[in-house]
């Protein structure tokens, strides 16, 4: 059975990963005023953060239309026997609902839609796992059964300059945002049960990065860690310096450094840095 793997642009996969694993990516939309850009197609992450840092416009995002999913599903089903769609947390976006609407419009049971309960590379890790399982001959049912465990083993921690954008976009509770603003702290956010939560409140950016590394060290000791990605919407130099600290802790791990997915960056703003990694157990 030939199975196509599809995800959305918040998975933050590199072009090399997409091509090597044959993954189809449906873009979300980045909106600046009257201008809309397809994430990763019309606007790169680098271009997005450059514009975000130099404009007074507050960007917004838009999920893919059901029509975009219909087009992708129908095209893939001309070549493949089934489609496994691994998508951004349904608690953060209507992307899953749009895909479900598209499946209902097509009326084809060969389309499996999986709510990853994750975002950015924590979503990407599930899409990559699905593609790897396809290459090993797994069935659609086996892939669907395995992905929740990948979500359980995934960790995501990001230092944000302010919780205001997340509050304004409805991605975090008003009380948490108010506390962060009043205390002038640097919050570390995480993903838990598909939602953005405050993991820790720290006084400075550097101490917040230290807190993330302390959590990484605990997970290395207790669970083992192999795949690690540094994500950032800060300067490349700051991200590289943080990555060097991670490399000292995990010299054998697979480590990459990329900008934070722009769709997530809309809600976190500039000046972010963090880690997404996969535990072995």
- What is the DSSP code string of 88-102? S-TTT-SHHHHHHHH
Residues 171/115/281/256 CA torsion (nearest 10 deg): -70
Residue 38 inside a domain? The answer is no
Contacts of residue 10, defined as CB under 8 A and 6 or more positions apart, other chains included, come to 28, 39, 88, 93, 95, 119, 120, 123, 261, 263, 264
Q: 142-149 — which CB contacts under 8 Å span 24+ positions?
A: 143/3, 143/84, 143/112, 144/84, 144/112, 144/114, 147/86, 147/114, 147/116
The pLDDT-based confidence of 168 (bands split at 50, 70, 90) is low
Per-residue pLDDT at 198: 83
Question: Model's pTM, two decimal places?
Answer: 0.91
Mean pLDDT computed over 150-178:
69
Query: Could you tell me which residue, 186 or 114, shows the higher pLDDT?
Result: 114
Q: Which residue has the tokens 């089934």?
A: 82
Mean pLDDT computed over 251-259:
93
Mean pLDDT computed over 6-34:
96
Same domain, 137 and 182: no
Same domain, 159 and 147: no
Domain count, the chain: 2
* Last-in-domain residue among 112, 134, 151: 151
Three-class SS state of 39? strand
Same domain, 243 and 207: yes
Model confidence at 233: pLDDT above 70: yes
CATH number at 224 reads 3.30.1180.10
The pLDDT-based confidence of 236 (bands split at 50, 70, 90) is confident
Note down the domain range covering 231.
154-279
User: pLDDT (tens digit, 9 = 90+) per residue, 50-96?
Assistant: 998 888 888 999 999 999 999 999 999 999 999 999 999 999 999 99
Per-residue pLDDT at 268: 84
Per-residue pLDDT at 86: 98
Same domain, 112 and 7: yes
Model confidence at 104: pLDDT above 70: yes
Question: Which pair of tokens denotes residue 124?
Answer: 């990407």
User: pLDDT (tens digit, 9 = 90+) per residue, 182-201?
Assistant: 456 788 889 988 988 888 88
Per-residue pLDDT at 164: 57
Residue 57 inside a domain? The answer is no
Same domain, 79 and 217: no
Among 4-18, 44-58, 209-223, which is the least confidently predicted range?
44-58
**Kind of pairing, strands 35-38 and 60-62?**
unpaired
Question: Which pair of tokens denotes residue 34?
Answer: 């009257």
Mean pLDDT of the chain: 91
- DSSP assignment, residue 43? B
Mean pLDDT computed over 157-166:
72
Per-residue pLDDT at 9: 97
**CA–CA separation, 147 vs 9, rounded Å?**
18
Alpha helices by DSSP H, listed for 172-253, are 174-183, 205-222, 236-249
Beta strands in 127-202 (DSSP E): 154-159, 186-192, 195-202
Are 172 and 189 in contact, with CB atoms under 8 Å apart? yes
Query: Could you tell me which residue, 155 or 161, shows the higher pLDDT?
Result: 155
Query: Could you tell me which residue, 77 or 203, shows the higher pLDDT?
Result: 77
Model confidence at 247: pLDDT above 70: yes
Same domain, 169 and 255: yes
Same domain, 24 and 108: yes
- DSSP assignment, residue 68? H
CATH number at 109 reads 3.40.50.10170
Same domain, 141 and 183: no
Alpha helices by DSSP H, listed for 78-137, are 95-106, 120-135
**% of residues, the chain, pLDDT over 70:** 91
């Amino acid at each position: 059975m030939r199975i196509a793997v599809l995800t959305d642009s918040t998975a933050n996969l590199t072009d090399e990963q997409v091509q090597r694993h044959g993954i189809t990516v449906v873009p979300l939309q980045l909106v600046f005023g009257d201008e809309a850009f397809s994430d990763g197609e019309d606007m790169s992450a680098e271009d997005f953060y450059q514009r975000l840092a130099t404009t007074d416009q507050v960007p917004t995002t838009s999920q893919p239309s059901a029509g975009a999913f219909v087009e992708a599903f129908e095209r893939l089903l001309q070549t493949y026997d089934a489609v496994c769609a691994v998508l951004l947390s349904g608690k953060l976006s209507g992307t899953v609902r749009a895909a479900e609407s598209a499946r209902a419009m097509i009326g084809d049971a060969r389309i499996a839609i999986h709510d990853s309960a994750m975002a950015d590379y924590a979503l990407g890790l599930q899409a990559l796992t699905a593609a790897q399982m396809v290459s090993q001959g797994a069935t659609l049912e086996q892939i669907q059964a395995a992905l929740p465990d990948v979500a359980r083993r995934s960790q995501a921690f990001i230092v944000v300059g302010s919780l205001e954008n997340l509050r304004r976009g409805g991605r975090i509770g008003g009380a948490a945002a108010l506390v962060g603003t009043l205390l002038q702290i640097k919050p570390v956010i995480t993903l838990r049960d598909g939602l953005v939560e405050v993991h820790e409140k720290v006084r400075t950016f550097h101490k917040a990065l230290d807190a993330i590394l302390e959590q990484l060290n605990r997970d290395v000791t207790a669970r083992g860690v192999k795949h690690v990605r540094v994500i950032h919407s800060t300067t490349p130099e700051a991200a590289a310096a943080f990555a060097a600290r991670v490399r000292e802790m995990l010299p054998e791990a697979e480590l990459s450094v990329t900008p934070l997915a722009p769709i997530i960056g809309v809600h976190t703003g500039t000046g972010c840095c963090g880690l997404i990694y996969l535990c072995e157990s």
